[in-house]
Amino acid sequence: MLYYFGMVMAGVGAAVLIGALTYVTTMLGLVIMSMFAFTAAPVLDKVFKEKA
């Protein structure tokens, strides 16, 4: 019985670890994308202001 409990807890731990890695990767990707967006915004403003 204790063996099966250990297997279930190991599975839960692995699932939590995979979920945490997915969450961190997504947040890091969003932060990097927003950094690109904030960096490119002044350049894009100049380009679109010249067109109008």
Q: Which residue has the higher pLDDT, 32 or 52?
A: 32
The pTM score is 0.66
pLDDT at 52: 60
Residue-wise pLDDT for 13-51, tens only, equals: 999 999 999 999 999 999 999 999 899 888 888 888 877
Per-residue CA distances from 29 to 1, 45, 46 (Å) = 42, 24, 26
pLDDT at 2 over 90: yes
